[in-house]
Structure 1
Amino acid sequence: MLELNDLQYQPATTEQPVLKGINLRVSSGRPVLISGASGSGKTSLIEVVSGLAGEQRGTVTWKGQSLTRRQRRWLCGVLFQFPERHFLGLSVSQELKLGHRRLSTDAMHQALRRVGLSNVDLKQAPERLSGGQQRRLALAVQLMRQTDVLLLDEPTAGLDWSVRDDVLELLQDLARDKVLIVVTHEPDLFQRWECEQWKLQAGQLRALSPLAAVD
């Protein structure tokens, strides 16, 4: 279980904290959707949880153990908005291998199967994939890191409605054995998604669904 306890965060560029006493518990099997207006602190929350930014107060714990920022960076896989814009590999295979000294072809195929890309050509350039396939490849890259927590910023942004449902179904499957948190400013796009729902407003979380209010 991932627990956020009384998190407060204030970027150097703001006069007031953007996160004020954030408390949240997330378990595998129960994905969490956090909605909020642009500028409400959703991306900041992901950065703090993943260790990319440092909180001024509070703790992030995993299975009861408080984690340092460095430990959180190993624990969490992060997909910011439009992750395909940050692909560096010249091929699907190269993209999956980035950051790995030794990586078997079997491991790559296993990750691709998990995200529904079992038939993709490993030699194909990532930019030649469709929008939905690129988003799936970005998820496969995170699976290769074997992270226990997935943090996703607007994972359906820019996708056609016909592809969006497929991506949401994939996220539901990944949430079975991983802690999964999605942030969005368009909660209506997730109406059919089975998840706990919270709203981030004025730096604090408010439960929007009955499940979200349960400890």
Structure 2
Amino acid sequence: MLYLKNLTYHPAVSSVPILKSINLQLAPQQMGLVVGPSGSGKTTLLEILAGLAEKTSGEVLWREQELLPIDLRYLGGLVFQFPERHFCGGTILEELRLGHPELSSDRVHKALDEVGLDHLSLQTSPHSLSGGQQRRLALAVQLIREPHLLLLDEPTAGLDWSMRRQLVSLLARLKQEWMLLVVTHDAGDLLEIADRCWTLHHGNLQQGAEPQTLRTNSQIGS
């Protein structure tokens, strides 16, 4: 179980905290959905949980054990909103093996199979892939690391309807083995697979309505 207790983030350059007393808990094989507008602190929250930024106060716990940023780098795998900007490998194989030079062929194919890309040549350039395929490859890069928690920043942004549906189906499969925390400004199709839902506004996190209620209201309004 992941617990956030009174988590705050207030960098010296900001006149007000970016995150204010965040409390959250999420269980294995659940997907949590944090919904909020741009500038609400969503990406910052993920960066803290990925060990890329350090909280100002509060606690991050995994199974009752408090975690430091170095621990969080092993616990979580972060998929950025625009993962193609972070690709460094010239081929899919090089991208997957960055930091893992001894990676076996079996692990490579298993990771690609889990995200539905095992049909592609390993010599394909990551930058030649479609937007949806690039999101899938970024997920495979994190799955290679075998994290306990997958962190996704706006995973469906910029994708067309078909690609969004494919990605939602993929996340539904992945949460059978991993804990997922997704942040987005538009819940949309993600509501149907969310187990927990929160809203984040001006750094304040609030428990949202149950995903089933939100899904029903969305259907009524459509």
- Please report the TM-score for the alignment, with normalisation by the length of structure 2: 0.91
Trace 1:77-156 onto structure 2 (pairs within 5 A).
Answer: 77-156=77-156
Q: CA deviation at 1:207?
A: 1.6
Indicate yes or no: 2:71 matched with 1:71.
yes
Q: CA deviation at 1:211?
A: 6.7
Q: CA deviation at 1:6?
A: 0.7
SS across alignment from 2:192: coil
SS across alignment from 1:106: helix
Name structure 1 gaps, 5 residues minimum.
none
Q: CA deviation at 1:111?
A: 0.4
Aligned twin of 1:60: 60
CA distance in 2: counterparts of 1:191 and 1:175, whole angstroms: 14
Aligned twin of 1:30: 30
Aligned twin of 1:6: 6
CA distance in 2: counterparts of 1:32 and 1:52, whole angstroms: 20
Aligned twin of 1:190: 190
| Contact 2:3 2:23 (8 Å CA) reproduced | yes
Indicate yes or no: 2:178 matched with 1:178.
yes
Indicate yes or no: 2:51 matched with 1:51.
yes
- Please report the TM-score for the alignment, with normalisation by the length of structure 1: 0.94
State the one-letter code of the partner of 2:104: S
| Contact 2:10 2:18 (8 Å CA) reproduced | yes
Structure 1 pair 191/147, CA: closer, same or farther in 2 (3 Å)? closer
Aligned twin of 2:217: none
Matched pairs, number: 212
Q: CA deviation at 1:189?
A: 4.5
CA distance in 2: counterparts of 1:25 and 1:112, whole angstroms: 30
State the one-letter code of the partner of 1:41: G
**Identical positions, percent:** 48
| Contact 2:6 2:21 (8 Å CA) reproduced | yes
- The alignment's C-alpha RMSD in Å is 1.5
Q: CA deviation at 1:136?
A: 0.5
CA distance in 2: counterparts of 1:11 and 1:158, whole angstroms: 30
CA distance in 2: counterparts of 1:173 and 1:85, whole angstroms: 26
Q: CA deviation at 1:14?
A: 1.1
Deviates more, 1:111-120 or 1:125-134: 125-134
